[in-house]
Amino acid sequence: MKTVLGHEGTILVEEIDQPEPGTREVLVRVAASGINAADWMQARGNYPPPSGFAPDRLGLEFSGEVVACGEGARLLAAGDTVMGITGGEAQSEYITIPESAVVAVPDGVDLVAAGGFPEAAFTAVDALFNQGGLGLGDRVLVTGALGGVGSAALQIAALAGARVTAWIRSHDRDSEAFGLGAHETVVTAEVPEAGPWDVVIELVSPRNIPTYLGRIAIGARIVVIGFAGGGAVEVDVRALAAKRASIAASTLRTRPWSEKSLLARKVEGRLLDALAAGAYRIPVEATYPVAEAAAAYQHFLRPGKLGKVVISF
């Protein structure tokens, strides 16, 4: 089978043996797999995958069709269409995964576009609800709001009844943010005078925190997901204390399958009906066949994208 590899920043496509499903696992013929920042970091040698995953095989999310079930797998059957997140190796023609860790692709949802759903949706649901404690009527700021996770966070927060602010590069892109559920937009120069916000989803860099720290609400929760430029930032803890606020940081990749399975159930409950009804969209910037994986990664690295770049199998 074909698989996408990363060696010192070079993206390659090679043939390897097809895997076999283990106990309570399913074998999925992959339809598509979205590209994420962690994939590019891994390809450059800066973000090794968790134990048990090949260090050079890329891909954290996928959609596809179940073609075989391992011993003890009873939740799914051959022919079911599913999507999910994994610690690596998803940019391959076939992947094995615990059957409890996937969610169904609703009828009518494009299977290739679904390859760009899981990582963004799982990350946003975890950040907003598990880490950020989002509640009805909360005011939310999403940085990097038009990227893969950002476009998911805007929609999910709006569907949950929050008032959502999108931090974008330029007001030239206001219509894109409003189309994803944002109620207002801000650019960098406007942030220190905007707000207040109960929840901040930081998808770009912790270095942004001082920019909005003075504009958070009492009891605010800042959730850091993006670490561009490193993880170090100087924060006046007295400002946090005055607001009784907190900062959390989170990643999904290294979590055990048991936690990923619980998150899959939360995504099912919160998003699949909206996805089926068209109330939640999967913005796809571009789709590339696997033979053009290197070009797909070059596209991914361009600034100003809306949504995901997806590799199709």
Per-residue pLDDT tens over the stretch 26-40: 999 999 999 999 999
Q: Is there a single domain that holds both residue 216 and residue 305?
A: no
Q: Is there a single domain that holds both residue 126 and residue 108?
A: no
- Condensed to tens digits (0 to 9), the pLDDT of residues 119-137 reads 999 999 999 999 999 999 9
- Condensed to tens digits (0 to 9), the pLDDT of residues 75-121 reads 999 999 999 999 999 999 999 999 999 999 999 999 999 999 999 99
Q: Last residue of a domain, which of 233, 249, 265?
A: 249
Q: What angle do CA 24, 26, 28 make, to 5 degrees?
A: 165
Q: Return the pLDDT at 230.
A: 80
- Section 290-312 average pLDDT: 94
Q: Return the pLDDT at 189.
A: 97
Q: Return the pLDDT at 247.
A: 96
Q: Is there a single domain that holds both residue 136 and residue 245?
A: yes
- Condensed to tens digits (0 to 9), the pLDDT of residues 254-278 reads 999 999 999 999 999 999 999 999 9
- Section 54-75 average pLDDT: 97
| The CA-based dihedral angle spanning residues 155, 156, 162, 167, taken in that order and rounded to the nearest 10 degrees | -50
Split at pLDDT 50, 70, 90, the class of 12 is: very high
Q: Is there a single domain that holds both residue 201 and residue 180?
A: yes
Q: Is it the case that residue 156 has pLDDT exceeding 90?
A: yes
Looking up tokens 């907190």, which residue turns up? 246
Q: Is there a single domain that holds both residue 92 and residue 159?
A: no
Split at pLDDT 50, 70, 90, the class of 180 is: very high
Q: Is there a single domain that holds both residue 274 and residue 157?
A: no
Q: Which domain holds residue 182?
A: 121-249
Identify the CA nearest to 310 among candidates 54, 87, 92, 33. Answer: 33
Q: Is it the case that residue 229 has pLDDT exceeding 80?
A: no
More confident residue, 307 or 15: 15
Q: Is there a single domain that holds both residue 230 and residue 163?
A: yes
Domain of 55, CATH number, reads: 3.90.180.10
Q: Last residue of a domain, which of 232, 249, 266?
A: 249
Q: Is there a single domain that holds both residue 13 and residue 103?
A: yes
Q: Return the pLDDT at 307.
A: 85
**Chain-wide mean pLDDT for the chain?**
96
Q: Is there a single domain that holds both residue 98 and residue 196?
A: no
* Both structure tokens of 249: 């940081």
Split at pLDDT 50, 70, 90, the class of 24 is: very high
Q: Is there a single domain that holds both residue 112 and residue 133?
A: no
Split at pLDDT 50, 70, 90, the class of 58 is: very high
Q: Is there a single domain that holds both residue 148 and residue 239?
A: yes
Q: Is there a single domain that holds both residue 133 and residue 239?
A: yes
Q: What domain count does the chain have?
A: 2
Q: Is the pTM of this model over 0.85?
A: yes
119: left (phi over 0), alpha (psi -120 to 50) or beta: alpha
Q: Last residue of a domain, which of 218, 249, 280?
A: 249
